[in-house]
A and B are shown apart, each in its own frame.
Chain A
Amino acid sequence: MNNIARVRVTARPEVVIKKLSRANIAIYGVKSAGAYTSFGAEDKMLKKVFAIFSHPCYNIRIVKYGFVRSLALRALSRAGLVAGAALFAAAVLLSQAFVLKISVTGSGAHLAPQVVAILRRHGVEEGRIYGGVDSPIVVSQIMSLPSVTFCSISKRGAAVVVDVQCSRQSSPAPDSSPLVSPVAGRVVAVAAVCGTPCVSAGDEVCAGDKLILPYCAQSPSGGTVCMCAGYVRISVSASVTSLAAEESSSALSSALAAVNLYSDEAEVTSCTVKRVSQGVLYTVNFDYIYTASINMR
Chain B
Amino acid sequence: MEFLQHILGAAGADTLHAFTVVPGFGVYFRGVGSVAECGSGRIVVASGGAGITVTGEGLSVGRYFQGDLFISGRIEEVRIE
Contact = CB atoms under 8 A, between A and B. Distances in A.
B16 to A, nearest CB: 16
Interface residues of A, number: 17
B35 A27 contact: no
Contacts of A274: none
B40 A32 contact: yes
A26 B63 CA distance: 7
B66 A12 contact: no
Contacts, number: 51
A31 interface: yes
B65 A27 contact: yes
B48 interface: no
Interface residues of B, number: 14
A29 B64 CA distance: 9
B34 A30 contact: no
A267 interface: no
A32 B38 CA distance: 8
Interface string A1-27: 000000000001110011011001111
Interface in A20-46: 20-21, 24-32, 39
Interface string A173-196: 000000000000000000000000
A232 to B, nearest CB: 89
Nearest to A20: B64
Contacts of B38: 12-14, 17, 30, 32
A57 B38 CA distance: 20
A17 B35 CA distance: 7
Given A29-B61, A30-B61, A31-B60, A24 B35 contact: no
Given A18-B34, A30-B38, A32-B40, A13 B61 contact: yes
A233 to B, nearest CB: 91
A85 B76 CA distance: 54
Contacts of A21: 34-35, 64-66
Given A13-B38, A30-B61, 6 more contacts: A17-B35, A24-B65, A26-B65, A28-B62, A30-B38, A32-B39
